[in-house]
């Protein structure tokens, strides 16, 4: 099937700075095994030399050809026509299958499929993505790691900085100050490096409000689109746990949110919503201003009959508690 020729429509979103995007359609005779990058090359060489897109290695190493293909960020050199047509549930024009290609999200468009990645790189710099070690002061000496220590860096070390996770990040879309999943995955690589001597300072930096780890909304898109299985959301979770292990509930609302959630689930099998807001926002009745801020919401819930007047623990409370405690003891 990979060698059977077929006609496919490629709908490409084209755009120049400060102009509205326009959808342009190209028809190609292709094979299922052709990569999207090969198809874009043919469009540029055979039909429209003005089409702009990035490319380099053609072998899922450099990350240059990252773009949105049928609505999700991916590497054009990795995805082929057959895969895209199999995944597409609709997008057909009559009997001719269609593949839609657009630039990455969360970045300004320079031209067509080429985006300005300066913000992407600037946010990466904010996590200081270099190993901090005394080795910098002794250039003639090597600071070796055991195979076990080095293996802790394998997953995060696979990141090729393609921008796919950054493109799909919902947190960035609503909060431009969030540093981004790519940067925090790299941050975890630094924290996990046995040679780094600035772990405590790093974790303090990554703990800064919604700019750092607490800005992640755990939507899972970064994990879903990462072509190298770095799993940025998982790496953010490891950073959060490192911070939680070092902080108590009085440190910040973000810390309290996580600790209260776990404590309430341990107590009742699920969250007692009456206590959750009071403990998190009201800081266990210590924050009068926080408690007063809950009043309007509480009154609206009462008037609409949506405020829970009682709480009934789940039948599996003991099992849930034992599972949480087993995980905590294992960690």
Higher pLDDT, residue 156 or 4: 156
Handedness of CA 132, 211, 188, 72 (dihedral sign): negative
pLDDT at 90: 47
Q: Over 90: is that where the pLDDT of 307 sits?
A: no
Return the half-sphere exposure (C-beta side, CA atoms, 13 A cut-off) of residue 67. Answer: 29
pLDDT band at 17 (very low <50, low <70, confident <90, very high): confident
CB-based burial of residue 151 (10 Å sphere; 0-12 exposed, 13-18 middle, 19+ buried)?
A: exposed
DSSP, res 47: I
pLDDT at 2: 60
Which two tokens mark 64?
């240059």
pLDDT at 89: 56
What average pLDDT score do residues 139-145 get?
A: 74
> Per residue in 93-139, pLDDT tens?
557 899 999 999 999 999 999 999 999 999 999 999 998 876 566 66
Task: Decide: 206 and 187 in contact? Cβ < 8 Å.
Answer: yes
Q: Any idea which architecture 6-115 has in CATH?
A: Roll (3.10)
Give the CA distances from residue 242 to residues 62, 132, 235, 237, 272, in Å, rounded to whole numbers and listed in that order: 31, 18, 11, 9, 26
Which two tokens mark 304?
């609409």
pLDDT at 135: 56
> Strand 98-102 vs strand 6-14: parallel, antiparallel, or unpaired?
parallel
Q: Considering the entire predicted model, what is its pTM?
A: 0.87
Nearest to 188 by CA among 164, 166, 159, 156: 156
> Per residue in 188-210, pLDDT tens?
999 999 989 999 999 999 998 88
Give the CA distances from residue 140 to residues 53, 135, 197, 216, in Å, rounded to whole numbers and listed in that order: 43, 9, 19, 40
Higher pLDDT, residue 44 or 310: 44
- Its CATH class, for the domain covering 118-246, is mainly alpha
Sorted by where each begins, the domain ranges of the chain are 6-115, 118-246, 253-330
Which two tokens mark 249?
């509930």
Which two tokens mark 30?
């292709």
pLDDT at 137: 66
Q: Over 60: is that where the pLDDT of 173 sits?
A: yes
- Find where tokens 């796919």 sit: 164
CA–CA separation, 265 and 284 (whole Å): 17
> Per residue in 145-162, pLDDT tens?
899 999 999 999 999 999
Nearest to 254 by CA among 284, 211, 210, 289: 210
Mean pLDDT computed over every residue of the chain: 92
Give the CA distances from residue 236 to residues 182, 217, 243, 310, in Å, rounded to whole numbers and listed in that order: 10, 11, 11, 35
* Number of neighbours of residue 190 by Cβ within 10 angstroms: 21
For the chain, what is the total number of helices (H) and then of strands (E)?
A: 15, 7
> Per residue in 209-235, pLDDT tens?
889 999 999 999 999 999 999 999 999
> Per residue in 244-288, pLDDT tens?
999 998 989 999 999 999 999 999 999 998 899 999 999 999 999
């Amino acid at each position: 099937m990979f060698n059977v020729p077929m006609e496919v429509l490629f709908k490409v979103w084209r755009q120049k700075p400060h102009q509205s995007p326009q959808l342009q359609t190209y028809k190609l005779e292709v094979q299922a095994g052709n990569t999207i990058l090969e198809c874009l090359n043919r469009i540029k060489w055979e039909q429209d030399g003005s089409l702009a897109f990035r490319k380099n290695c053609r072998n899922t190493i450099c990350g240059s050809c990252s773009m949105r293909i049928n609505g999700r960020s991916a590497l054009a050199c990795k995805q082929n026509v057959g895969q895209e047509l199999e995944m597409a549930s609709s997008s057909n024009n009559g009997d001719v299958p269609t593949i839609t290609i657009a630039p990455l999200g969360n970045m300004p468009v320079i031209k067509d499929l080429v985006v300005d990645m300066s913000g992407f790189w600037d946010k990466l710099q904010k996590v200081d993505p270099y190993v901090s070690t005394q080795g910098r002061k002794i250039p003639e000496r090597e600071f070796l790691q055991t195979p076990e220590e080095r293996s802790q860096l394998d997953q995060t070390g696979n990141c090729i900085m393609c921008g796919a996770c950054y493109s799909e990040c919902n947190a960035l879309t609503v909060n431009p100050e969030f540093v981004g999943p790519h940067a925090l995955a790299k941050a975890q690589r630094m924290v996990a490096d046995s040679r780094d001597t600035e772990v405590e300072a790093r974790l303090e930096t990554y703990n800064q409000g919604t700019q750092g780890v607490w800005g992640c909304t755990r939507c899972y898109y970064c994990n879903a689109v990462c072509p190298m299985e770095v799993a940025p959301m998982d790496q953010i979770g490891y950073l959060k746990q490192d911070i939680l292990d070092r902080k108590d509930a009085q440190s910040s609302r973000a810390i309290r949110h996580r600790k209260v959630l776990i404590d309430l689930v341990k107590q009742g099998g699920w969250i007692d919503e009456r206590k959750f807001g009071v403990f998190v926002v009201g800081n266990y009745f210590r924050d009068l201003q926080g408690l007063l801020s809950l009043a309007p919401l509480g009154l609206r819930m009462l008037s609409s009959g949506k405020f829970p007047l009682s709480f009934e623990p789940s039948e599996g409370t003991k099992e849930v508690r034992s599972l949480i405690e087993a995980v905590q003891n294992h960690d």
